[in-house]
Structure 1
């Protein structure tokens, strides 16, 4: 209950009764957009054109593209735009996103870093919306809103609903202090606060904000800064990405054990509640199902719990077999919940087996 309801309600209450508003101001610092890419030829031209077209003074924006062992024409496509504001770094060996970010930031000229991924489309005012938050001297990093489109199937609409639930939690965390993670598709930070990422880091969009918070500054969420991404229509499309992301949380604790120490991590309670306990959720649900089944004959409460879990599982299976049923809101929400917890369970196995998670 704490993971899925208690913590979100606590954050919402804190945001309402003890808000910490951000003192936004309009300013235009020098910004370097950082783009780490592996085999992104199909998207890189459109992405760079979108960055160059942002509603931001052209002379205050430059871009560093780091090609991570690309086997396609990513670098050539980036250079073909012929814009002096674009610098391309080519690395023959594939090392992972974190290594590319470290090298790209070392080449950055801007006071502010705009971190983004190659696939997502940004709204023209996204950068202005982000840097307005950095006008507050107490804010060190700010994340934008990732919105999903093209959700045709019941599963896709369920994932979209989950993501809207997630953004509500982030909004509450931001209004009451700091978020513990941002979307890698769109965030900005003060360059002076960037610390080189450990080799192989998967979740730079969690570790970087946590480092900013550890430095004593806030990490906030700006819903008006929007990046758009396509929806996964079926579980198989979402599976690989989600398992890798969830396994990255295990790796994060391995790379930065200080995150587990309340006296070193100022966002310890939020980190444990929002990230770590979600990894335990599928195992706790399994333990609940087994204990309720074994004790079903002892008390009506246990029997009702076992029947409720069985009915939920039956609804998910029926929704997969009957698309019309799967499109109904209760079923699609249950389906998304079921699959996301399944992916969380698989993430532990993925982390144990695959030490090369960073190779995206």
Structure 2
């Protein structure tokens, strides 16, 4: 009887893992082909505000503004607004140097955090469409021409571009991020066609100002915006041809810290919007939230169940010995990758095991912090490893 329970635990956990990483991507892809949500696109030129939220970005803001000023769009229809969240370095001073070129500065006093600063800046934006950006992200010049046509469809409330990570130092963390993001991009494309995006890249997404609803301070704004848009009866869609570039983190510690923050914020967002997890209310959008977020964050528990059940079953059949050996080997490779990175001798072969375990460790730590009620309204940008 005990063996039977252990086998059930093993195979149910394996099945759930298979669904998370392969079954759901296949499901959403097939659904997007079976019942695609088409978009009416047209060449339109609405008033646009590029909103760049920054805290102590003196080393990046000048290049960012030069890049933004080169975007292909009529200058009379473009507002560039930098929202400085109480910066204490030369960020504001540098932005003021661009005032003669049409750049505006909104200084938020008191360091209230990115999301609250965005809320207050959106109120001051003059554009019909607000494009949200980060100070460290560079755009291709055609992003407006590729994103704005979707807003000709009145059912579209948000359009997200594609983030491409750059890793000039060719680190293991960078390779892991690039592989993971390629996988995520495939899923985003299918989700956009099937129903609606459940999350945007925070450095490149545009929203109808009329549809923007102020968010609580600790929100993961680029995730929550898609839920907010869907609640209003509109869609968030993906424009993969609209590309932006950003450096990856180069160290495991930095990547872990960033992912813990984002996942912890997302747990808060999911909890506050748990009614959207009901398929009878939000349809396939709920399936996407459960499959892409909740079950993904439950992977550490599933991995633990597979490991423990394998240990108990190893004496029953050679298959479980093989399964246990494979798991231990994989975890040893991930640990070896982390140790070699700390020694300054990274091995490319270990990039994927290292990043996989890093991402799942982040889920565990983030859930713990969520249960403790820790908030992330404010955080320090990670720049030292770039």
Report the TM range for the smaller structure's normalisation.
over 0.9
The equivalent position to 1:90 in structure 2, one of 92, 101, 107, is 107
CA RMSD of aligned residues (A): 1.9
Tell me: CA distance 1:26–1:270, structure 2 relative to 1, closer, same or farther (3 Å). Answer: same
Runs of 4+ in 1 over 6 A off after TM superposition: none
Aligned counterparts, 1:167-206, within 5 A = 167-201=185-219, 203-206=220-223
Corresponding residue number in structure 2 for 1:3: 20
TM-score w.r.t. the length of structure 1 is 0.93
1:313-341: CA deviations, max 9, x gaps? 1222344456788313xx42222212111
> How far apart are the structure 1 equivalents of 2:295 and 2:56?
34
Aligned pair 1:347/2:354, yes or no?
no
> How far apart are the structure 2 equivalents of 1:357 and 1:199?
8
Aligned counterparts, 1:195-344, within 5 A = 195-201=213-219, 203-266=220-283, 267-320=285-338, 326-328=347-349, 331-344=350-363
2:173 and 2:255 in contact (8 A); partners too: no
> How far apart are the structure 2 equivalents of 1:198 and 1:231?
28
1:244 and 1:350 in contact (8 A); partners too: no
Aligned pair 1:357/2:368, yes or no?
no
The equivalent position to 2:56 in structure 1, one of 39, 43, 46, is 39
Q: Secondary structure at the match of 1:83?
A: helix
The equivalent position to 2:154 in structure 1, one of 137, 160, 185, is 137
Long gaps (5+) in structure 2: 1-17, 380-386
> How far apart are the structure 2 equivalents of 1:354 and 1:265?
27
2:252 and 2:338 in contact (8 A); partners too: no
Aligned pair 1:114/2:131, yes or no?
yes
> How far apart are the structure 2 equivalents of 1:92 and 1:354?
26
Q: Secondary structure at the match of 2:199?
A: coil
Q: Secondary structure at the match of 1:42?
A: coil
TM-score w.r.t. the length of structure 2 is 0.87
Corresponding residue number in structure 2 for 1:24: 41
> How far apart are the structure 2 equivalents of 1:99 and 1:56?
28
1:186-224: CA deviations, max 9, x gaps? 0011111111112322x1011111111111112111111
> How far apart are the structure 2 equivalents of 1:155 and 1:107?
39
Long gaps (5+) in structure 1: none
1:320 and 1:326 in contact (8 A); partners too: no
> How far apart are the structure 2 equivalents of 1:14 and 1:288?
30
Deviates more, 1:253-262 or 1:303-312: 253-262
> How far apart are the structure 2 equivalents of 1:263 and 1:52?
46
1:50-107: CA deviations, max 9, x gaps? 1121101000010222211211121111111123632212122111111111111101
Q: CA shift at 1:298, angstroms?
A: 2.2
Q: Secondary structure at the match of 1:41?
A: coil
The number of aligned residues is: 357
Deviates more, 1:16-25 or 1:319-328: 319-328
